């Protein structure tokens, strides 16, 4: 996952003009020079994610099972082909998740939603009304820069209540009963704090990439969010120590 950076006023700063023309990704060196702060997700990369690692391993194994070795192909070439194939599957899933994410954003900003994603958006709207009845002042994609030295962009939040929501794309129809929410409050809590709210209710909404209209959610309590913020602040301290960079202001 590429590192993301924000200016102190909350403006995203993901790319910078390169010397040869065009744009390139912002680096840690750039961030030091420009006084940028890391995103919440960038900070959380210092914490191991066993489930994500296991998923990546599974993708590699599946690619190996479905890609026979070519006659005369060297082991190193075969391995490179397996990695490319498994990476493409992950990229395809991420790209579809991004398109769904963009459609939800457009809806809450009053824009047009592509026909393909109307069921996804309608399901999110209905789920929000179910878990947070009466809340209607949803704001999409609000970015921020925290004086504690981190930044981010929040999928949805309610200014009147401080409720913060993150939506993620997942495969399946969610009927298998599999637990979906584990440590996502580690991400939601610093979002909520970064927007200036005290720990309070928040939610993850899981939108199916493969079954339009299928949806699941998990609501976090104020106590959950207090714990999530504690975990994040510990991670932020570790990130600053590892990078030898404290962008607090």
The b-or-e profile of 144-154 (16+ CB within 10 A means b, else e) is bbbebbbbbbb
pLDDT over 70 (residue 120): yes
pLDDT at 7: 98
Q: Which is nearest to 130 in space by CA: 219, 194, 6, 206?
A: 219
pLDDT at 32: 97
What confidence tens digit (pLDDT) does each residue in 43-93 have? Answer: 999 998 887 788 778 878 888 888 889 989 999 999 898 888 887 877 888
SS3 15: strand
Q: Please tell me the predicted confidence (pLDDT) of residue 68.
A: 87
CB 204 within 8 A of CB 188: yes
The 10s digit of each residue's pLDDT in 180-213 is: 888 999 999 999 999 999 999 999 999 999 999 9
Q: Model confidence at 1, in pLDDT bands (50, 70, 90)?
A: low
Q: Is 14 helix (H, G, I), strand (E, B) or coil?
A: coil
């Amino acid at each position: 996952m590429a590192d993301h950076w924000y200016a102190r006023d909350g403006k995203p700063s993901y790319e910078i003009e390169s010397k040869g023309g065009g744009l390139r990704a912002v680096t840690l060196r750039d961030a030091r020079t420009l006084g940028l702060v890391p995103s919440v997700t960038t900070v959380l990369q210092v914490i191991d994610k066993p489930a994500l690692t296991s998923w990546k391993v599974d993708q590699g194994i599946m690619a190996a099972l479905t890609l026979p070795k070519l006659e005369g192909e060297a082991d190193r070439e075969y391995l490179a082909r397996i990695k490319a194939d498994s990476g493409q599957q992950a990229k395809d899933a991420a790209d579809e998740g991004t398109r769904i994410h963009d459609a939800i954003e457009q809806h809450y900003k009053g824009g047009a939603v592509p026909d393909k994603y109307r069921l996804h958006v309608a399901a999110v709207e209905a789920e929000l009304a179910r878990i947070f009845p009466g809340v209607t002042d949803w704001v999409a994609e609000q970015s921020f820069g925290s004086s504690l030295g981190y930044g981010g962009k929040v999928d949805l939040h309610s200014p009147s209540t401080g409720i913060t929501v993150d939506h993620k794309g997942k495969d399946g129809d969610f009927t298998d009963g599999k637990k979906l929410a584990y440590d996502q409050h580690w991400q939601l809590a610093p979002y909520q704090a970064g927007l200036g709210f005290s720990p309070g209710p928040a939610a993850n909404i899981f939108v199916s990439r493969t079954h339009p209209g299928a949806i699941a959610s998990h609501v976090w309590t104020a106590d959950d969010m207090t714990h999530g913020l504690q975990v994040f602040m510990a991670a932020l301290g570790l990130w600053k120590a590892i990078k030898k960079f404290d962008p607090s202001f």
